[in-house]
Structure 1
Amino acid sequence: MQKLTFLDLWENQFSGAFPMSILNLSSLEILELTGNQIRGEFQAQTVVNLPRLSLLNLIGNKFSGSIPVTLLNLTNIEVIELGDNSFTGRIPQDFGKLHTLNFLGLSKNHLTGDINFISSLVNCSNLDLRWNNFTGELPESIGNLSTSLQRLALGHNPISGTIPAGITNLINLILLDISDCNITGALPPDFGKLKNLELILLSSNWLTGRIPESLGIIPRLTALYLDDNVLEGTIPPSLGNCQSLLTLNLSYNKLNGTLNSELFKGAAKFVQLDLSHNHLEGSIPLGISEQISLGYFRLSDNKFSGVIPYGLGHCVALQQLYMDGNSFHGDIPSSFASLSSLEEIDLSDNNFSGSIPAFFSKFPSLQYLNLSYNNFEGRVPTNAVFANESAIFLTGNNKLCGGISELRLPKCAENQVIKKSKRRKKSLAIKVIISTICVLLGVLTMVVGLYLTCIRDKKKHVSPDSEMGKTFLKVSYDMLLKATDSFSSDKLLGAGTFGSVFEGIVDGKTVAIKVLNLQHRGASKSFIAECNALRNIRHRNLVGIITVCSSADFQRNDFKALVYEFMPNGSLDRWLNGTRNMNLLQRVDIAIDMAHALNYLHHECETPIVHCDLKPSNILLDQDMIAHVGDFGLAKILTQPQHPNRSSTIGVRGTVGYVAPEYGLGSEASTDGDLYSYGILLLELVTGKRPTDNMFKVGYNIHTYAKAALPDQVMQIVDPSLRDSQITEEVENRRAIQDSDCQKRECIFTLVSVGVACSTHSPEHRMKIPDAISRLVAAKDNLLNATRMRQ
């Protein structure tokens, strides 16, 4: 078909090899193959003789190999879209010579090289380079790209550097995506110059400083994602003036201060608002009542207090409401009866009181209700959502009764209703007298109880602090104050839900000091759990505790801290999601170290211990890169036989992505739950992908992703830095090199298969930890033998 000019096979089921002869149809102007299953392995020098071609679209197929250099012969090309394939290698460096090129799409491939090549693409108005393995620093020359550039998408690449101030020259920019990279530094203060911006995606970086006020003057901004950074300061109230802003995600930062009412009373009508995991405080402004379009509202893990404003019930579009991990108090307002669209509610870890509103049982879409660790009282309904034990969480409310039998709550006394009815008929004077007497008796009882408790504790010495004192020398608050320069931010190593960790020097030794935030509900419980778990255990792969500090006075109230061995190489999370790379041998060693730690906790302790929160940030590396499991704040000592299928009213133990699926159904903590988390950790260790990655959706997670790659495709899913690395330096013995590469692939296969076997959905089918150790040690031995052959 030598005269063919237009070939469009868009969105069919074509498969098989790509006929290379198409690349010689010299009259072709449009080649559109989007969304098929066509394969083709291009070589760098594949001949492309299409001088009239203006559009080349191969997106969503199975093309592989390198991008042909001869694409530079396409002198009339306007659109090159090669996204969502398996292209590898570097891209031709002279793309900038294609003066007619308007759109370059290379997303979701395995391309490598320095991101600096974009400096030459001065004529493009659309650049989509996401989901590749481009490296290097974001070039300052970005500001010199065409002012007609509308879309700049560089996210999900291991690029670094800061956002150049010159980026504000790109005045027609509509989309800016530099999410999930390693970008540092502050945001340019004059972002507001980009008047046409609609989407700003800067999630999962290391951005610092304050959120620029000028963002509030971008009239078309519809979505702003700054989550998972290190931003500080207050939330600019000017964001409430963005008349088009629908989505605002500022979660997982270090933002502080109160919420200005202008954020809710301005032109912005939020649909999604996520302010969780910050240091925000104060109450929710009354202006929240004006956000009638709000569907997703998350304030989890902050320092908010006060009562829920009645006006929140005016947000009738709400589907997901998360207010857990704060200090809210009072009743659930009656206005909540209007929120019939709610699907998920989490009010746990607060100080709410009163009865559980009956109207929750009338919400047709409600599938998740967590009221744990509050002060609710009275009868629990038994219909609708309350009839599903896996949908409701009520633990930590000691005055509740009734409910379905699976909740194991005490029965409600039948005469309670009668007594309440009679009390309503009593005169006001009698009520006052009875109330006064009750208060006096309560105070007297409390005083006597506190006195008896102090005497009892002094006699029995049963507190975790005192038990620890028998083994470890306690340090004073003043010693820790001095060791950390008054808990200076310069000494801060990290912060979590229940406290912060500081670097310090005690008795001439560098240590890590975990200071509990006792204002956060559950922190004291976490301290006790960690003390109990670490009291009598010692192992080379567990973070060693040196001492505890626990004191109380009127200035500091209750102060508790744990002093640990210092781990100079930080957490595994920093290595997997930072700029530093690990070779295969280091990853295998870490996998084995973690397995030995679990084997010790589960099988070698006098009483088995379940960690309950295995994740990369809780795996710490010493100076020799030996892995140590830390943070036992959620640990559970199994003093009774395990019942893995038994339900419990306890909340889910662990972190999203790593927590075993049976915990979500209310199962008790078990060693099988740790096995699941370990399996997920192994898969993250090999693939470099977090289990909460955006690519994973309902029904498709990192386990199914890895399982689908077994047995022949494992090299396609490994961390790109691991795929390209070598175990040792190249030597001349070619056969030895081939043998070691084979053992490398075998080792990766073992890591993936063990990870999959440990993270199966069914607890009883998970690989046991001794078997995992055996397989991993054998794989390491084979890897080392192959390395020695090369040397």
Structure 2
Amino acid sequence: MSAPPILPPKHNNVTDRSSLLVFKSKISVDPHGLFATWNDTLPFCRWQGVVCGHRHPERVVSLNLTSLDLVGTIPPHLANLTFLRTIDLSSNRFQGLIPQELSRLSRLQNLNLGTNSLSGIIPSELSNCLCLQTIDMSYNILGGYIPTEFGSLPSLYDLDLRNNSITGQIPSFLANASSLNYLSLTGNLLSGGIPPSLGQLSVLKELRMSVNNLEGSIPPSLWNLSSLEILGLGYNQLKGSLPQDLGQTLPHLKRLYVDSNKMHGSIPISLSNASLLSRIQFSENNFSGRIPPNLGSLQYLRFLILDVNQLEAREPLDWSFLTSLSNCTILEFLVISDNNLGGLLPKSIANISATLKRLIMGDNSIEGSIPPEIGNLVSLDYFDLGPNMLSGHIPASIGLLKNLHILDLALNNFSGEIPSTIGNLSQLNKLFLDFNSFSGSIPVSLGNCKSLELLNLEHNKLTGIISKEVFSISSLTIGLSFEENQLTGTIPPEVGNLMNAGYISLSGNKLSGKIPNSFGKCQILQILRLGRNFFEGSIPTSLSALRGLQVLDLSQNNLSGEIPTFLGDFPDLHDLNLSFNNFEGEVPRKGVFRNKSEISVLGNNKLCGGDPVLHLSICAFSSPKKNHKSHKLAVIISVLSGFVCLFLLFLFVASRRWIRHRSKRKSIENYTIKEQHISISYAELAKATSGFSEENLIGSGNYGSVYRGTLDDHENDTKVIAVKVFNLQQLGALKSFLAECDAFRNIRHRNLIKILTVCSSVDFEGNDFKAMVFEFKPNGSLESWLNPEGNDPYGQKTLKLIQRINIAIDVASALEYLHHHGQDPIIHCDLKPSNILLDDDMTALVSDFGLARFINESTTSSTSSFGIKGTIGYIAPEYGMTNKVSTHGDVYSYGILLMELFTGKRPTDGAFKEGLKLRTFVKDGLSEGLISTMDECLLANGVQASDNSQTINHAKTFECVSLVLKIGLICTNDVPTERMKIKKVRNEMNDIKKKILWEILYREL
């Protein structure tokens, strides 16, 4: 059936049915089969989700399709359903724009489009729907501004725009919507101050504006909103203090959020007058003074969160607030960590409500001991008292807290034995008892904690053996540390049960025996520390299975035998300490053994050979005694001959160089790098790269090749370098070398590759030689992560969403610096994944300035005779029609890179045929279904928080990627001047990152 036209108001029920069928046709995914009922076998008024009126029984008055996982777009033909009073399409995956034609629905009262992936701006024309009572567009990716026209809606009761990308200021005209009862703008990009006019909304009950960029003081008029029940102002840049009469002026207040701002002053004592308060969240400000002692009168208080402030307690009277909280019978969260609290911990802590779930008081200077009555707090799931200055024994009653997931008593002065009753905590996930003075043995009962993920007992005075039961806790996915104790005995073979542990640290004890072969079962292990013990024997071959090892410390033991060669095959091993043992024989030469800063073999006097960077003696191989003299003579002759040959070669090269290059010496000097740290010769580079061997070749480009090398510096140390050697036989290579020299003389930024020096010399055959020396980046290029080859060391790794966003921000920061903050604006001209290197911490560094061009500050472009700039697929289209480069061209390349980073597809992908381009692919994907466009690895990896491994759901991943790809489309506009400025790109990407971190770490309840 063809789509009906969008008609004027007068039409019949046939148009209603046709409009519904158009809506059905725009649904691309219907996982629950809803639209199977939308057919000719039933009247359309009986179709699922469709409600018709009583007075007009064949006219649709409600369309309710919430929470059905539908994917599609909203057609403007819904405007033909002129009797509609309710549209509820919330909690689906609708994409595209909100049709402005909906403004013709004059009877519309409730519009709920929340929790979708709608983009574009909020149509201001909706203000024509004068009957609108609720507007919910939360959890989408809407941009633009808040329509000031919404203030003209006389019946507007509920306006929910939270968790979008709305910019600009909060319009003061919203105060004209005098019926507003609920206003939520949380989680947007709003800036400026809070309009004082909002204080005119006399019936407002909920005002939520957390997680924006609001600044300035809180208008006094807000404290006059006597009907207010929820006020959310957290995570902004607001400053000032709270009025001391706050409890009197807002007597109905239930929740108050001002966390993560710049507030100061004391906490108003009058808060107790707001007797309905259930949540007080003031964390991460500069509040000072005492915590009000009368908070215990708040009978409905469930959350008291005051951490990271300057609140004080010294005398018993200062702690009276804690005693009073025993009257709060439904209190669940008490968080007062990271303040200036001191003095003795009151015993009344054990009298707080049995409903308390989280008691977090660490990072203070609290003294005293934990009272035995602490076992009364049976609902606790998070108990944190470290670090403080607490002492005494841990009461056995701690074992009564059977709901505990986290117990943190680290960095105190606790002593005595660790109570065996901790073994009763069957739900315990993390146990921190480190940096105390515990003595006795490790309780065998810890083996009963079958949910334990992390066990840290380091830096105590523990003695005795480590029982096999402790090593049988297979749930230890993070790891365990018993470092710096006085433990004895051997490591039982049950250590192999820790097959999912990330680290095992037993250094600094008195353990003995052999290293168990069963360590080889711990194939997830990244850190293994066994140093400063009495282990003996050889390194077991079973450790060869630990391919993911990053740190291995076996120092200061009695280990012997040869160092296994397999340690040089571990791709991520960067810290290997074998010092002060009895190892002998030749040191391996591969992998970690090639970097002096990553390995220590001191105190092993029988070791020899290895990479020259280790400065060990040459391995001597025995020969018959009768041939000893002749062998010695032969060695002397060989050495003398070598010196003679090298001397003659030096004279030959020096003379050739002087003859051929004396006329060029002055011009070469013009291209040395400022503040050059080292000078280097061809011979040194040849030695560092083993004669520019194929084995050390990292990659090749148009004008040369890049080699990995190991360089001895002037302090008898070593440095791993990357050497870019220019192929001067290639036309344009010399010009590329000079261009890079020009660029690097004028730039320095954390997201630009750091150059160490240049070499402008001749090789051993007298040929011109030009090279640049950089710091080696072990994580390779972005290209190697996005498009790994079969034998690529990065082939099994993928980039998480947050890593991709960080990389995009880093590259944008580098371009902003090049374009606007150097001595002269620089155009990179060849931005692409292979020219972006990744540091140890995955920081992105822009490299390869061989095509870079300087432009005059008064212009935006530069004319060049160097031909088309850049690489096919990434090159700006205007470069094919003119010889002028500009900042717009770099922005275009960045946009292509951004789309590749989040789709996983190169702009030259073989799938792009018959005129299809990456930009078209992305544009179609945003309108038709993002899941087929985005890199599938993103759905597998998501976004993880570092502390609790929470993962953003797919809907939020879609939202984030949609925002990024939209930026990519703007950056690749065919009209150069219509492209986004790189500074705005960086700001937008930072805002997206903030949105992600907000989703992971903070939710306003």
- Which category of TM-score, normalised to the shorter sequence, fits these structures? 0.5 to 0.7
Task: Confirm whether residue 135 of structure 1 aligns to residue 215 of structure 2.
Answer: yes
SS in 1 for 2:142: strand
Aligned to 1:200: 280
1:392 is the counterpart of 2:480: yes
Question: Distance between the aligned counterparts of 1:783 and 1:368, measured in 2?
Answer: 58
Q: Equivalent residue of 2:465, what SS?
A: strand
* Residue 377 (1) aligns with residue 474 (2): no
Whole-Å separation in 2 of the counterparts to 1:604 and 1:206? 50
Name the Cα RMSD after superposition.
4.6
1:266 deviates by 4.1
The question of whether the paired residues in 1 share the 8 Å contact of 2:111 and 2:135 is answered with yes
- 1:779 and 1:180 mapped to 2: Cα distance? 43
Q: Which residue in 1 is equivalent to 2:229? A: 150
Per-residue CA deviations over 1:564-585 (Å, capped at 9, x if unaligned) read xxxxxxxxxxxxxxxxxxxxxx
In the TM superposition, 1:398-417 aligns within 5 A as 398-403=486-491, 407=506, 411=511
Q: Does 1:757 align with 2:854?
A: no
Q: Secondary structure at the match of 1:313?
A: helix
Q: Is the 8 A contact 2:423 2:447 kept in 1?
A: no
Tell me which of 161, 182, 187 is aligned to 1:108: 187
Deviation for aligned residue 1:411: 4.7
Equivalent residue for 2:409?
323
Structure-2 change in CA distance of 1:387 and 1:367 (3 Å): closer
- Higher alpha-carbon deviation: 355-364 or 262-271: 262-271
Whether 1:362 aligns to 2:442 is no
Match of 2:804 among 707, 721, 725: 707
Is the CA contact (8 Å cut-off) linking 1:61 and 1:85 kept in structure 2?
Answer: yes
Task: Report the CA distance shift for 1:391/1:95 in structure 2 as closer, same or farther (over 3 A).
Answer: same
Cα separation, 1, equivalents of 2:295 and 2:239: 23
CA offset at residue 226 of structure 1?
A: 0.5
User: Residue in 1 aligned with 2:987?
Assistant: none
Which amino acid in structure 2 is aligned with residue 216 of structure 1?
G
Aligned counterpart, 1:430 = none
Q: Which residue in the other structure is 1:524 paired with?
A: none
Q: How does 1:563-602 map to 2 (within 5 A)?
A: none
**What is the SS of the residue equivalent to 1:101?**
coil
Give the drift of 1:13: 1.9
The answer as to whether partners of 2:179 and 2:201 remain within 8 angstroms in 1 is: no
CA–CA distance in 1 between the matches of 2:299 and 2:149? Answer: 43
- What is the count of residue pairs matched by the alignment? 497
Quick one: structure 1 residues 301 and 22, their matched pair in 2 at CA, closer, same or farther if it must change by over 3 Å? same
Matches within 5 A, 1:177-216: 177-216=257-296
What aligned pairs does 1:293-692 form with structure 2 within 5 A after superposition?
A: 293-382=379-468, 383-385=471-473, 391-403=479-491, 407=506, 411=511
1:640-698 per-position Cα deviation (integer Å, ceiling 9, x unaligned): xxxxxxxxxxxxxxxxxxxxxxxxxxxxxxx999x99xx9xxxxxxxxxxxxxxxxxxx
Map of 1:174 onto structure 2: 254
CA distance in 1, matches of 2:203, 2:112: 23
Alignment check: 8 A CA contact 2:374 2:397 kept: yes
**Range that drifts further, 334-343 or 12-21:** 334-343
Rounded Cα–Cα distance in structure 1 between residues aligned with 2:491 and 2:714: 40
Structure with greater Cα Rg: 2
Which residue is 1:11 aligned to? 91
- Shifted more, 385-394 versus 184-193: the winner is 385-394
Cα 1:241–1:353 change in 2 (3 A) is same
* 1:376 and 1:400 in contact (8 A); partners too: no
Q: Match of 1:339, as an amino acid?
A: L
Tell me, in whole angstroms, the C-alpha distance in 2 between the residues paired with 1:113 and 1:775. 41
The answer to whether the 8 Å contact 1:379/1:412 transfers is no
Secondary structure of 2:446's aligned partner? helix
- Partners of 1:746 and 1:52 in 2: CA distance: 54
Which of 110, 113, 120 lines up with 1:33 in the alignment? 113
Structure 1 position 167, deviation (Å): 2.0
Q: Secondary structure at the match of 2:838?
A: helix
| Identical pairs, percent | 28
Q: Summarize deviations over 1:736-785 as a string: whole Å, max 9, x none.
A: 9x9899x99999x99x9999933657xxxx76xxx67x789x99999989
Q: Which residue of 2 aligns with 1:87?
A: 166
Counterparts of 1:373 and 1:82 in 2: how far apart (Å)?
51
Structure 2 residue identity aligned to 1:71: F
Displacement of 1:92? 1.5
Is the alpha carbon distance of 1:389 and 1:249 closer, same or farther for their aligned partners in structure 2, counting shifts above 3 Å? Answer: closer
Q: Distance in 2 between matches of 1:779 and 1:261?
A: 69
**Residues 390, 90 of structure 1: CA spacing in aligned structure 2 closer, same or farther, 3 A cutoff?**
closer
TM-score, structure 2 length as denominator? Answer: 0.44
Residue identity in the other structure for 1:128: R
Matched, 1:58 2:137: yes
For 1:780 and 1:269, locate their aligned partners in 2 and report how far apart those are by CA, in whole Å. Answer: 67
Partner of 1:83, secondary structure, is coil
* CA–CA separation in structure 2 for the residues paired with 1:387 and 1:37: 38
Unaligned runs of 5+ in 2: 1-80, 496-503, 515-674, 679-711, 720-747, 751-774, 783-796, 863-886, 888-1005
**Structure 1 pair 710–283 and aligned structure 2 pair: CA distance change class (3 A):** closer
What letter matches 2:460 in structure 1?
Answer: N
Q: Tell me, yes or no, if the aligned pair for 1:354 and 1:375 is still in contact at 8 Å.
A: yes
Contact in 1 for aligned 2:98/2:120 (Cα 8 Å): yes
In 2, Cα distance between equivalents of 1:76 and 1:606: 79
What's the offset of the Cα at 1:83?
0.9
2:859, 2:716 → 1: CA distance? Answer: 40
Gap change, CA 1:351 and 1:217, over 3 Å in 2: same
Counterparts of 1:255 and 1:158 in 2: how far apart (Å)?
A: 26
Question: Which whole-Å CA distance do the structure 1 matches of 2:232 and 2:820 have between them?
Answer: 40
Distance 1:782 1:189, change over 3 A: farther
Asked whether the equivalents of residues 706 and 756 of structure 1 are also in contact (C-alpha less than 8 Å), the reply is no
Cα displacement string for residues 332-356 of structure 1 (whole angstroms, at most 9, x for unaligned residues): 1232232222111010000001000
User: Out of 116, 120, 128, which is 1:49 matched to?
Assistant: 128
Letter matched to residue 334 of structure 1: S
- Deviations along 1:440-494, one digit per CA (max 9) or x if unpaired, are xxxxxxxxxxxxxxxxxxxxxxxxxxxxxxxxxxxxxxxxxxxxxxxxxxxxxxx
**In the alignment, what sits opposite 1:77?**
156
Evaluate the alpha carbon distance shift between residue 91 and residue 328 of structure 1 in structure 2; reply closer, same or farther with a 3 A threshold.
Answer: same
Q: Secondary structure at the match of 1:352?
A: strand
**Structure 1 residue 413, shift from structure 2 partner:** 8.3
C-alpha contact (below 8 Å) 1:710/1:753 kept by paired residues:
no
- CA distance in 2 between counterparts of 1:180 and 1:604 reads 49
Higher relative contact order (CA 8 A, sep 6+): 1
- 1:36 and 1:311, CA in 2 relative to 1: closer, same or farther beyond 3 A? same
| Alignment-mate amino acid for residue 227 of structure 1 | D
Distance in 2 (CA, whole Å) between partners of 1:746 and 1:358 is 65
Classify the secondary structure of the residue corresponding to 1:303.
coil
CA contact (8 A) 2:281 2:306 kept: yes
Q: Does 1:277 align with 2:357?
A: no
> Mind listing any 5+ residue stretches in structure 1 that lack a counterpart?
415-592, 597-601, 610-625, 629-670, 680-698, 728-735
Q: d(CA) in 2 for partners of 1:50 and 1:230?
A: 50
SS in 2 for 1:204: coil
CA distance in 1, matches of 2:367, 2:718: 40
Kindly state the Cα deviation for residue 201 of structure 1 after the two structures are TM-superposed.
1.1
Distance 1:240 1:711 in 2: 50
Q: Equivalent residue of 2:262, what SS?
A: coil
Deviations 1:183-219 (A, max 9, x none): 1111112221111111111111111111111212111
Give the partner amino acid of 2:120.
G
Amino acid at match of 2:400: H
Asked if the contact 2:488–2:510 (Cα under 8 Å) also holds between the matched residues in 1, the reply is yes
